[in-house]
Amino acid sequence: MKLIVIGLGQCGGRIVDRFAWLNKRAQVVRGLNVIAGAFAVNTDIADLSGLSNIKPDYRHRIVVGGRKTEGHGVGKISELGAEIAREDGDKIIDAIRTAEQFPEADGFLLIAGAAGGTGSGSIGVLTRLLKERYVGKPVYNLIALPFRQEETTESRTIYNTAICLKSVYLVADAIILVDNQRYIKKDSSIAENLARINARLVEPFYNLLCAGEETKPKYIGSRVLDAGDIIQTLAGWTAIGTGKSLIRQRKLPLGKKNHFRDKVTETNKGAHAMDKALTELSLTCDPKGARRALYLISAPPGEMNMDIIKDLGDNLKAVAPNALIRSGDYPRQKKSVDVAVILSDFGALGKVTNYFTKAIDLISAIKARQGLQYGGRELEEIFNDIPVLL
């Protein structure tokens, strides 16, 4: 699967920069292109200057809102970010169309942090614009949720996150949610934490995107998982994860090949990798709420057999019994068994509902100070008072 990847704001730009690195890795290691174009859009020139892998020309690092911000950002005012996206949307579209592989792209992936101003405000606007222009291609969003300390110390963080999530839910084909707090390490610096988080959230896409683009016969799986499978799986709120189980050769006495212990070990490697993928999902969620799911196993050909495939399918069905499951194999890895998992089409997520509830409380407090009361109103009714940035 080939994607046009667009990062909006500081957080989105850094994550897209990692996607650009992932594509370089795919080119060097596998001879494949999985990113048809990588673009960073921002109102802050300094943020764009700090990227490493995205081309430095003005068509790939796109400055918007210059007259309103003079290149210094929007200061977490997401309404201003949305306004700028509406005004400069055509400029962004024109730049994206310059990508050489644009016609080959299977869809768009827009990335932003939910708590900021430029990214959270513009992602819904640009998503709608792309869907109107390119009806046949899905438009996905990847939203990075704020750290816990941001939520507890900055009320604007909760407000921005809620209106961002509501806006993108109304227009995007799927929203992949990433909870930054799940990957943080307290003993590491801010820069190290952010770099590690970005690497971990991008890693699950590597095999998923490469599998359908593979051209060498020996690396094409018995059940190829391609763009069609991914498109049919991604819908609504989504979580993604990957797990790895290293292969260590056991030394057995002569004449002990095909030992029963080897058979058990082979099967356990796949199950262990899937358990890690589910444990390391990008968002804490109950898999039982997923209505669609997908897994891809990537391992040396000799490490994959029907027992492993069946065991992985049974394991995923056990934790996500209500999901329509798709699967595939990709005989590419050399020294590990990797399993990537997508859980999608959740009806509701506690994390998202919590943001909406807190935002409603903030709006209620503001209205109360203005002499307006919300007494006796239901949550669903008050939900309509959360603004939409479209």
**Phi/psi at 212 (5° precision):** -80, -10
Residues facing residue 108 across a β-bridge: 4, 139
The mean pLDDT value of the chain amounts to 89
SS3 371: coil
- pLDDT at 292 (0 to 100): 97
- pLDDT at 22 (0 to 100): 97
Residues facing residue 141 across a β-bridge: 110, 175
Looking up tokens 């690092």 gives 61
In contact, 75 and 42? CB cutoff 8 Å: no
- pLDDT at 331 (0 to 100): 93
Residues 358 and 362: their CA atoms lie apart, in Å, by 6
Look up residue 376 and give its DSSP letter.
T
- pLDDT at 387 (0 to 100): 84
Residues 366 and 362: their CA atoms lie apart, in Å, by 6
Per-residue pLDDT tens for 279-300?
A: 999 999 999 999 999 999 999 9
- Look at the pTM and tell me if it is higher than 0.85: yes
Residues 341 and 298: their CA atoms lie apart, in Å, by 12
Q: In this structure, are strands 174-179 and 61-63 parallel, antiparallel, or unpaired?
A: unpaired
- pLDDT at 304 (0 to 100): 82
- pLDDT at 25 (0 to 100): 96
In contact, 48 and 40? CB cutoff 8 Å: yes
Residues 164 and 119: their CA atoms lie apart, in Å, by 9
SS3 215: coil
- pLDDT at 136 (0 to 100): 87
- pLDDT at 381 (0 to 100): 60
Mean pLDDT by 10 residues, the chain (390 residues): 96 96 96 96 93 94 88 87 94 93 96 94 96 94 93 87 95 96 76 86 95 93 92 97 82 51 63 93 94 95 83 93 95 90 94 90 74 54 76
Half-sphere exposure of 340 (CA within 13 A, CB side): 23
CA 178 → CA 214, 352, 358, distances in Å? 28, 11, 19
CA-angle at 212, arms to 140 and 14, nearest 5°: 45
**Phi/psi at 8 (5° precision):** -120, 125
- In 284-374, which ranges are continuous DSSP H helix? 306-319, 350-369
All structural domains of the chain:
3-202 (3.40.50.1440), 238-346 (3.30.1330.20), 350-383 (no CATH)
- pLDDT at 249 (0 to 100): 61
Residues 106 and 213: their CA atoms lie apart, in Å, by 11
70 contact partners, CB below 8 Å, separation of at least 6: none
Radius of gyration of the chain from its Cα atoms, rounded to whole angstroms: 22
Residues 85 and 15: their CA atoms lie apart, in Å, by 19
- pLDDT at 266 (0 to 100): 57
- pLDDT at 134 (0 to 100): 94
- pLDDT at 250 (0 to 100): 54
- pLDDT at 306 (0 to 100): 80
Extract the runs of DSSP E, i.e. beta strands, from 283-386.
292-298, 324-330, 336-346
In contact, 208 and 340? CB cutoff 8 Å: yes
